[in-house]
Copies of this chain bind each other. A is one copy, B any other.
Amino acid sequence: MTPPSPAALQARFAAVRRATERLTATLSAEDQVVQSMPEASPTKWHLAHTTWFYEAFILAPHRGGYRVFHQDFGYLFNSYYEAAGPRHPRPRRGMLTRPSLAEIHGYRRYVDEHLAVLVAEADEATWQTVAPLIELGLHHEQQHQELILTDILHAFAQNPLAPAAFPLVEAPPIVAPCDLGWYGFDGGLRRIGYDGGGFAYDNEGPAHLVHIEPFRLASRLITCGEFLAFIVDGGYREPRLWLADGWAAVEAQGWEAPLYWRRRQGEWWQMTLAGMLPLDRQAPVCHVGYYEADAFARWAGRRLPLEAEWEVAARTVACQGNFADAGVYRPLAAPTTGLSQMYGDAWEWTASAYLAYPGYRPPAGAIGEYNGKFMCNQFVLRGGSCATAADHIRPTYRNFFYPAQRWQFSGIRLAEDA
């Protein structure tokens, strides 16, 4: 892959970095220090960790004479790279009231400046090495932009005051609700996975052949109104609708609705990044885990799509949708009756376990830990969400979460055998 020009990449670097900071502009220093559960991280930590990524994997090895900003930041802001040394235990990231947010911003500027100089001065050979790492760092930072949003939503949802992280952006008016339609696809041997032509994570390849059966895919995401029907029908109380592990989670966690739904005086509300809002029945349901998506599909007499099916279908539509760039930060009702919402709005749980594609080899070194070591116990989600940067997503993109996890913008699209 030919790397982009230094100027182009530097421009994109600046844009991504600014976007991250813009995302945190309405949050106080107090907001940015808190960790609401071990899986979530403080905003401040995300700001530092994405910065450390450039420092540890680009500046330190590839910029002669570079001095790290602070000797302890490698320990504090390494996430999970065993090859990069020991690190602060994940569940204790919320203990870091120091360094202050202001110091973290200083860290960002320091690394930005040094990276700009490295880009400007890199000779051809260095550029061949460094440009792909910067590219990776930018996609890495975009992933953390999404996590900043999902993590602060989780934190604010723990607060009885239900604060809004962002001002409310009204949804565009809906002419009429879109009925659920079905799109058929042929079976046969299909090639899926990343095949060159732009950035992709290692786990999206190698491209390879998969035999699929004929199938149909729902035209849009399942709405809150449809999911409410599942609840009203006793969906959360009937073990026969659930996987055994799913039912165990329902009982252990006391689940009765998606993560951020709240019932008050008989009315349903949903906690969002704009605070507590009345439930929008036309909007896609999100913050459901795989267990709920699977149970809903069983109740509906359908199933979840395989990731190969999803990818085959997704290649037939443009990669457009309700992304973080719109600043709405919640899923919106489907605008058309066509095959819609394949990208954006809510990640779509697939029925595929997150495993290596045939022939997959992680890259050498610490970067090899980026994706490969998580290929166990998780399910693949596809298509991005209202919290994903528009230029971060693509048809081959494989996101992955544990089946009980619900704090991402994760929703449901149904499939069925043709």
User: Is A29 an interface residue, CB under 8 A from the partner?
Assistant: yes
Q: Which of B29, B159, B211, B247 contacts A98 (CB 8 A)?
A: B159
**Closest chain B CB from A382 CB (angstroms):** 16
Q: Which of B240, B306, B353, B373 contacts A83 (CB 8 A)?
A: B240
Cβ-defined contact, A246 with B97, below 8 A? no
User: Is A333 an interface residue, CB under 8 A from the partner?
Assistant: no
Query: Beta-carbon contacts of A126-137 to B below 8 Å, as 1s and 0s?
Result: 000000000000
Cβ-defined contact, B403 with A82, below 8 A? no
Question: In the complex, which residues of chain B have a beta carbon less than 8 angstroms from the beta carbon of A335?
Answer: none
**Closest chain B CB from A35 CB (angstroms):** 9
Interface of A, secondary structure class, is mixed
Given A34-B95, A96-B159, A98-B31; A211-B240 close (CB under 8 Å): no
Cβ-defined contact, B356 with A355, below 8 A? no
Cβ-defined contact, B72 with A243, below 8 A? no
Kindly identify, within residues 287 to 315 of chain A, every residue whose CB is under 8 Å from any CB belonging to chain B. Answer: 290-291, 294, 306
Question: In the complex, which residues of chain B have a beta carbon less than 8 angstroms from the beta carbon of A351?
Answer: 355-356
Query: Beta-carbon contacts of A370-387 to B below 8 Å, as 1s and 0s?
Result: 000111110000000000
Q: Which of B75, B160, B369 contacts A160 (CB 8 A)?
A: B75
Question: In the complex, which residues of chain B have a beta carbon less than 8 angstroms from the beta carbon of A99?
Answer: 161
Q: Which of B213, B291, B373 contacts A359 (CB 8 A)?
A: B213
Kindly identify, within residues 121 to 171 of chain A, every residue whose CB is under 8 Å from any CB belonging to chain B. Answer: 155-156, 158-161, 163
Cβ-defined contact, A98 with B240, below 8 A? no
**Closest chain B CB from A259 CB (angstroms):** 15
Question: In the complex, which residues of chain B have a beta carbon less than 8 angstroms from the beta carbon of A242?
Answer: 373
Cβ-defined contact, B97 with A28, below 8 A? yes
User: Is A94 an interface residue, CB under 8 A from the partner?
Assistant: yes
Q: Which residue of the partner chain B has the closest CB to A70?
A: B161
Q: Which of B36, B100, B158, B373 contacts A28 (CB 8 A)?
A: B100
